[in-house]
């Protein structure tokens, strides 16, 4: 007998080649294999009489091979195996392509099942390329490929559904009844099949309902573990101590009154939710979500001021250097309006050498080591940077608040790195954990909020600041491209600026190997690239305008070490600054400008290969314009004539807000694409479960029940183990 943990290598009859293929699928144990689920089932359960076959049918027949031959087609491209098979009612022809070995298996006189499509040629019916399975004719014969509901598996190169079925059936027979680890109450309340039934039914169901019930159970498994993990994380944080940051309400009111604009109602509400969390003695774990341009930064800045007034530092992390610098500038500008408190010192710290330090209204460069020393001594209340802030050498004296921009949540690693104690460098176990605030403009659909982000508290900015103009959005047909360029030229003549976004940096090399690639790869060659578009726009379309390009392969900034410039090579920092200063008219870029960049004078967002981007992403691109007083425009270009592409893009034109798009994106592309597989760490089946609101609610209720009555799962040792495994998988990202 085997258990789920038995390595497949221990099973007799699986060759090393096959094992390697399985490993490629991430399948090493029997459990892995049995959790490799079919994507669908073919219903071949009924055996038809040959005389009753009808064209177009998917059917199984049982008959004896009368004759079997092979021949080459006249173009010599194919080897055709042709058989005649007879049952009591009559005989039919069967044809296979390029499988000459079949002739050796199905010798004349052999009885077999054949499942496949009934085709018709010159008024004669035949079975085209059926799966087959020799049988004995005994009614108790057990089949796996024919005459039943046949599982169809996701296949990879060289590993067919047939191969997997071949393997799984005997394994299910030899499997010791696996222990049930889901609590009995959860099974009963949600009418879920037990594990050993579910394993049988998901692979070789008697009825399709059994297969569906089994799949529902497996989706539930992951959702349930996810919910348990969320509750566990929440409780863990609730046991951790954090510094209390008290809000000085009258002072805060004076500061808000000094801002150059009035806060929107939901900015105020979000700020209030955050400030209330900061007063508690346990760490905040909150996501601030709001559309592009809804004004998340100022909310974070006000929280940072409050922390500074309490003698605590705030670290603000941005995903790119360009964005970190922009935050730095925004904070400077914001604070210049404020006289109610002494302007806090702000530092910018990124991996490149450009570090700046701001004090008493003056900006001055500072050496990296010196800056780190000041941070360690707690002299700088607000430190803005990239992930460089996570480096071992960066320590804070008394870090009170960490803000991470354009990310949904902190990873476990990031959290640990930021909780390091300033003196010892060890994790601050006995001391304090900072408060965590993440900010994101990608709205999270409700189902994901309940599950993948169930451990977070959420604040939402629901409205844009007053006076924002609607952005005119158009899908532009290829023949109207010249008109669009003409329009851009007019806008630039009026002093405005334009973005052009391309899906890739450069045209892929087209060597011999690549030429023979599949059609999909071919179409990739036609996707517009930044380098080509830059070339075209700067030399042919707009030779008289100032065109620049920006992409991720460019150096982040010029090296200032030892006073050397980087040899005049363009760098991201400089290109972005020029664009912000109005020194360039058109910026051709990849998605590096996706997040957060603020250039109010840019009024045109032109997106090439729009079908290559997710809706939520396109929405964010569009949010780069419409930030100033001028009417703005977004032009979507696509080479794809597909109706589905146009429907998808129409959603952008019509959507009222990002939430709507997020829901559509989730439906159309699934959670994997939406979040990026790595962000969730969830297997496929749970991913599909994420679209099932009822199942999510059920799993949440069951998890809550278990954790409320037995916080440490002492009464559920099997569940405990399973959860530990799941946590490992989840946090391995
Ligand atoms: P996002 O939420 O996309 O990060 P930002 O914080 O960058 O948005 O804000 C976008 C712009 O809106 C900034 O220039 C900011 O100063 C401005 N802003 C923020 N809040 C308001 C408000 N209540 N009224 C007017 N302008 C605001
Ligand atoms: Mg932002």
User: Which residues lie closer than 8 Å to 403 by C-beta, 6 or more apart?
Assistant: 300, 303, 304, 314, 315, 316, 317, 437, 438, 439
Q: Tell me whether residue 88 is exposed, middle or buried, using C-beta atoms within 10 angstroms of its C-beta: 0 to 12, 13 to 18, 19 or more.
A: exposed
Mutate to test the pocket of ligand 1, among 255, 294, 298, 628 (most ligand atoms within 8 A of CB): 298
Per-residue burial over 291-308, b if 16 or more Cβ lie within 10 Å, else e, is bbbbbbbbbbbbbbbbbb
What residue's CA is closest to ligand 1, atom 26? 465
How far lies 719's CA from each of 229, 368, 553, 561, in Å? 12, 49, 47, 56
Q: How confident is the model at residue 516 (pLDDT cuts 50, 70, 90)?
A: very low
Q: What is the pLDDT of residues 528-573, one digit of tens each?
A: 889 999 999 999 999 999 999 998 888 876 654 433 444 567 888 7
Q: Is the CB of 266 under 6 A from ligand 1?
A: no
Which residues does residue 404 pair with via DSSP β-bridges, in sequence order?
317, 438
pLDDT for residue 139: 58
Domain 472-656 is of which CATH architecture?
3-Layer(aba) Sandwich (3.40)
- What is the C-alpha separation between 713 and 223, in angstroms, rounded? 17
From the centroid of its chain, how far is CA 471? 27
For residue 223, the surrounding DSSP H or E stretch is helix 208-239
pLDDT for residue 363: 78
Express as a percent the part of the chain with pLDDT over 70. Answer: 87
Q: Pick 36 or 154 by higher pLDDT.
A: 36
Residue 291 Cα to ligand 2 midpoint, Å, equals 9
620 pLDDT more than 90? no
Q: Is the CB of 598 under 6 A from ligand 1?
A: yes
Segments of 462-528 assigned E as strands: 471-476, 497-501
Give pTM, 2 decimals.
0.72
Lowest mean pLDDT across 105-109, 160-164, 569-573, 657-661: 657-661
pLDDT for residue 141: 61
CATH fold label, 46-147: OB fold (Dihydrolipoamide Acetyltransferase, E2P) (2.40.50)
With contact defined as beta carbons under 8 Å apart, do 497 and 584 qualify? yes
Q: Is the CB of 334 under 6 A from ligand 1?
A: no
Measured at the CA of 596, the angle between CA 467 and CA 394, to 5 degrees, comes to 135
Q: Pick 624 or 567 by higher pLDDT.
A: 624
What residue's CA is closest to ligand 1, atom 15? 295
642-650: long-range pairs with CB below 8 Å, 24+: 642/611, 645/611, 646/475, 648/611, 648/615, 649/475, 649/610, 649/611, 649/618, 650/475
From the centroid of its chain, how far is CA 330? 30
Lowest mean pLDDT across 205-214, 258-267, 401-410, 565-574: 565-574
Distance, first Cα to last Cα, the chain: 34
What is the mean pLDDT of the segment spanning 74-100? 87
Residue 246 Cα to ligand 2 midpoint, Å, equals 25
Q: Is the CB of 620 under 6 A from ligand 1?
A: no
Residue 346 has φ and ψ, to the nearest 5°, of: -125, 135
pLDDT for residue 566: 47
Q: How confident is the model at residue 430 (pLDDT cuts 50, 70, 90)?
A: very low
Q: What is the pLDDT of residues 436-480, one digit of tens each?
A: 999 988 777 777 777 778 888 999 998 888 877 788 999 998 889
Which of 310, 527, 609 minimizes the C-alpha distance to 435? 310
Residue 320 DSSP SS3: coil
Lowest mean pLDDT across 172-186, 381-395, 503-517: 503-517
Residue 313 Cα to ligand 2 midpoint, Å, equals 20
User: Which residues lie closer than 8 Å to 30 by C-beta, 6 or more apart?
Assistant: 2, 3, 4, 5, 6, 7, 8, 11, 171, 175
Lowest mean pLDDT across 73-82, 134-143, 230-239, 284-293: 134-143
- What is the C-alpha separation between 421 and 429, in angstroms, rounded? 8
User: Which residues lie closer than 8 Å to 283 by C-beta, 6 or more apart?
Assistant: 237, 240, 242, 433, 434, 435, 436
Residue 290 Cα to ligand 2 midpoint, Å, equals 9
Which of 384, 404, 509, 532 minimizes the C-alpha distance to 456? 404
pLDDT for residue 218: 92
For 562, left (φ over 0), alpha (ψ -120 to 50), or beta? left
Residue 634 Cα to ligand 1 midpoint, Å, equals 20
Express as a percent the part of the chain with pLDDT over 90. Answer: 35
Residue 294 Cα to ligand 1 midpoint, Å, equals 6
Residue 686 Cα to ligand 1 midpoint, Å, equals 37
Q: How confident is the model at residue 673 (pLDDT cuts 50, 70, 90)?
A: low
- What is the C-alpha separation between 357 and 337, in angstroms, rounded? 19
Structural domain spans, the chain: 1-42+151-176, 46-147, 249-461, 472-656
Which residues does residue 315 pair with via DSSP β-bridges, in sequence order?
383, 402
pLDDT for residue 657: 73
- What is the C-alpha separation between 92 and 64, in angstroms, rounded? 11
With contact defined as beta carbons under 8 Å apart, do 46 and 97 qualify? no
C-alpha dihedral sign at 639, 644, 647, 648:
negative
Q: Is the CB of 460 under 6 A from ligand 1?
A: no
pLDDT for residue 508: 65
HSE, CB side, 13 Å, CA atoms: give it for residue 345: 17
Lowest mean pLDDT across 125-139, 244-258, 328-342, 519-533: 519-533
Q: Pick 227 or 154 by higher pLDDT.
A: 227
Atom of ligand 1 nearest to the CA of 467: 25
User: Which residues lie closer than 8 Å to 623 by C-beta, 6 or more apart?
Assistant: 291, 292, 293, 441
What is the mean pLDDT of the segment spanning 98-108? 88
CATH number listed for the domain at residues 249-461: 3.40.50.300
Q: Pick 138 or 247 by higher pLDDT.
A: 247
User: Which residues lie closer than 8 Å to 407 by C-beta, 6 or more apart?
Assistant: 319, 438, 439, 440
- How many beta carbons lie within 10 A of that of residue 188, not counting itself? 9
Atom of ligand 1 nearest to the CA of 263: 23
Atom of ligand 1 nearest to the CA of 330: 16
Mutate to test the pocket of ligand 1, among 293, 294, 301, 334 (most ligand atoms within 8 A of CB): 293
- What is the C-alpha separation between 307 and 286, in angstroms, rounded? 16
Q: Pick 248 or 132 by higher pLDDT.
A: 248
Q: How confident is the model at residue 256 (pLDDT cuts 50, 70, 90)?
A: very high
For residue 577, the surrounding DSSP H or E stretch is helix 572-580
What residue's CA is closest to ligand 1, atom 13? 295
Q: Is the CB of 465 under 6 A from ligand 1?
A: yes
Which residues does residue 586 pair with via DSSP β-bridges, in sequence order?
498, 547
Residue 431 Cα to ligand 2 midpoint, Å, equals 31
Q: How confident is the model at residue 525 (pLDDT cuts 50, 70, 90)?
A: very low
Residue 319 Cα to ligand 1 midpoint, Å, equals 18
With contact defined as beta carbons under 8 Å apart, do 355 and 380 qualify? no
Q: Pick 526 or 189 by higher pLDDT.
A: 189
Q: Is the CB of 295 under 6 A from ligand 1?
A: yes
User: Which residues lie closer than 8 Å to 356 by C-beta, 6 or more apart?
Assistant: 328, 347, 348, 363, 364, 365, 366
Residue 593 Cα to ligand 2 midpoint, Å, equals 12
Atom of ligand 1 nearest to the CA of 627: 11
Q: How confident is the model at residue 426 (pLDDT cuts 50, 70, 90)?
A: low
Residue 613 DSSP SS3: coil
What is the mean pLDDT of the segment spanning 512-525? 41
Q: Ranked by mean pLDDT, which of 14-28, 118-132, 193-207, 647-661 comes out on top? A: 193-207
Q: What is the pLDDT of residues 680-723, one digit of tens each?
A: 445 555 556 666 778 888 999 999 999 988 888 999 999 999 99
Q: How confident is the model at residue 420 (pLDDT cuts 50, 70, 90)?
A: low
427 pLDDT more than 70? no
Q: Pick 585 or 677 by higher pLDDT.
A: 585
Which residues does residue 689 pair with via DSSP β-bridges, in sequence order?
none
User: Max alpha carbon distance in the chain (Å)?
Assistant: 99
Q: Tell me whether residue 172 is exposed, middle or buried, using C-beta atoms within 10 angstroms of its C-beta: 0 to 12, 13 to 18, 19 or more.
A: middle
Residues with CB under 5 A from ligand 2 (ion): 596
Q: What is the pLDDT of residues 279-336, one digit of tens each?
A: 998 999 999 998 878 899 999 999 999 999 999 999 999 987 878 888 998 898 888 8
User: Which residues lie closer than 8 Å to 405 by C-beta, 6 or more apart?
Assistant: 296, 297, 300, 316, 317, 318, 319, 323, 327, 438, 439, 595, 596
- How many beta carbons lie within 10 A of that of residue 466, not counting itself? 8
Q: Do domains 46-147 and 472-656 have the same CATH topology?
A: no
Mutate to test the pocket of ligand 1, among 257, 288, 295, 595 (most ligand atoms within 8 A of CB): 295
pLDDT for residue 263: 96
Atom of ligand 1 nearest to the CA of 600: 14
Q: Is the CB of 267 under 6 A from ligand 1?
A: yes
What residue's CA is closest to ligand 1, atom 10? 293
Q: For the chain, what is the mean pLDDT?
A: 83
Residue 245 Cα to ligand 2 midpoint, Å, equals 24
Q: What is the pLDDT of residues 627-670, one digit of tens each?
A: 888 899 999 998 777 788 888 888 888 877 777 777 777 777 66
pLDDT for residue 284: 94
pLDDT for residue 100: 86
For residue 60, the surrounding DSSP H or E stretch is strand 58-72
Measured at the CA of 401, the angle between CA 395 and CA 402, to 5 degrees, comes to 70
pLDDT for residue 521: 41
Which of 90, 106, 108, 83 minimizes the C-alpha distance to 53? 90
Q: Is the CB of 270 under 6 A from ligand 1?
A: no
């Amino acid at each position: 007998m085997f258990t789920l943990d038995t390595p497949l290598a221990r099973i007799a009859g699986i060759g090393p080649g096959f094992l390697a293929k399985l490993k490629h699928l991430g399948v090493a144990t029997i459990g892995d294999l049995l959790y490799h689920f079919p994507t669908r089932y073919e219903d071949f359960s009924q055996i038809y009489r040959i005389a009753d076959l009808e064209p177009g049918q998917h059917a199984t027949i049982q008959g004896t091979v009368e004759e079997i031959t092979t021949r080459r087609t006249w173009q010599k491209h194919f080897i055709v195996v042709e058989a005649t098979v007879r049952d009591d009612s009559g005989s039919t022809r069967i044809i296979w392509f390029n499988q000459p070995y079949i002739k050796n298996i199905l010798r004349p006189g052999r009885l077999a099942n054949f499942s496949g499509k009934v085709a018709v040629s010159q008024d004669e019916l035949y079975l085209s390329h059926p799966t087959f399975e020799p049988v004995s004719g005994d009614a108790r014969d057990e089949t796996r490929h024919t005459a039943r509901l046949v599982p169809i598996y996701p296949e990879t190169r060289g590993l067919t559904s047939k191969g997997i079925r071949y393997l799984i059936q005997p394994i299910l027979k030899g499997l010791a009844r696996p222990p049930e680890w889901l609590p009995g109450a959860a099974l009963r309340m949600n009418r879920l099949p037990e594990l050993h039934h579910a394993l049988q039914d998901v692979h070789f169901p008697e009825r399709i309902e059994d297969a569906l019930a089994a799949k529902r159970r497996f989706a539930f498994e992951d959702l349930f573990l996810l919910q348990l993990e969320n509750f566990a994380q929440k409780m863990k944080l609730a046991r951790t101590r954090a510094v209390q940051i008290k809000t000085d309400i009258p002072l805060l009111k004076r500061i808000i009154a000094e801002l150059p604009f009035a806060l929107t109602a939901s900015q105020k509400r979000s700020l209030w939710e955050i400030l209330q969390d900061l007063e508690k003695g346990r760490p905040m774990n909150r996501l601030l979500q709001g559309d592009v341009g809804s004004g998340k930064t100022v909310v974070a800045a006000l929280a940072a001021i409050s922390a500074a007034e309490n003698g605590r530092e705030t670290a603000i992390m941005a995903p790119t250097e360009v964005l970190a610098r922009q935050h730095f500038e925004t904070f400077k500008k914001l604070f210049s309006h404020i006289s109610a408190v002494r302007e806090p010192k702000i530092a910018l710290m990124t991996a490149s050498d450009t570090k700046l330090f701001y004090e008493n209204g003056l900006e001055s460069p500072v050496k990296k080591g010196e800056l780190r020393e000041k941070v360690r001594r707690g002299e700088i209340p607000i430190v803005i940077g990239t992930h460089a802030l996570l480096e071992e050498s960066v320590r804070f004296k008394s870090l009170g608040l960490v803000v991470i921009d354009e990310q949904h949540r902190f990873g476990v690693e990031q959290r640990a790195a930021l909780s390091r104690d300033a003196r010892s460098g060890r994790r601050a176990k006995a001391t304090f954990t900072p408060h965590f605030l993440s900010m994101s403009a990608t709205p999270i659909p409700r189902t994901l909020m309940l599950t993948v982000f169930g451990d977070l508290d959420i604040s939402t900015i629901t409205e844009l600041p007053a006076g924002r103009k609607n952005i005119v959005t158009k899908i532009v047909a290829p023949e109207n491209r010249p008109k669009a360029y003409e329009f851009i030229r007019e806008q630039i003549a009026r002093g405005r600026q334009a973005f052009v976004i391309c899906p890739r940096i450069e045209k892929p090399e087209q060597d011999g190997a690549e030429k023979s690639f599949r059609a999909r790869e071919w179409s990739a060659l036609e996707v517009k690239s930044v380098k080509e578009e830059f070339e075209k726009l700067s030399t042919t379309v707009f030779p008289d305008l100032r065109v620049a390009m920006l992409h991720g392969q460019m150096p982040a900034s010029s090296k200032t070490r030892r006073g050397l410039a980087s040899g005049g090579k363009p760098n991201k920092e400089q290109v972005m600054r020029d664009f912000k200063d109005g020194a360039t008219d058109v910026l051709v870029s990849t998605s590096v400008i996706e997040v957060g960049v603020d250039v109010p004078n840019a009024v045109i967002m032109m997106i090439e290969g729009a079908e290559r981007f997710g809706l939520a992403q396109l929405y964010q691109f569009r949010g780069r314009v419409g930030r100033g007083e001028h009417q703005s425009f977004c032009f979507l270009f696509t080479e794809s004539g597909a109706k589905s592409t146009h429907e998808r893009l129409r959603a952008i034109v019509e959507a009222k807000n990002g939430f709507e798009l997020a829901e559509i994106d989730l439906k159309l592309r699934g959670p994997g694409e939406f979040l990026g597989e790595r962000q969730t760490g969830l297997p496929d089946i749970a991913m599909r479960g994420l679209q099932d609101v009822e199942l999510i609610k059920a799993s949440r209720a069951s998890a809550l029940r278990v954790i409320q009555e037995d916080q440490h799962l002492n009464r559920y040792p099997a569940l405990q183990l399973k959860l530990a495994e799941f946590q490992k998988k989840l946090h391995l990202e």
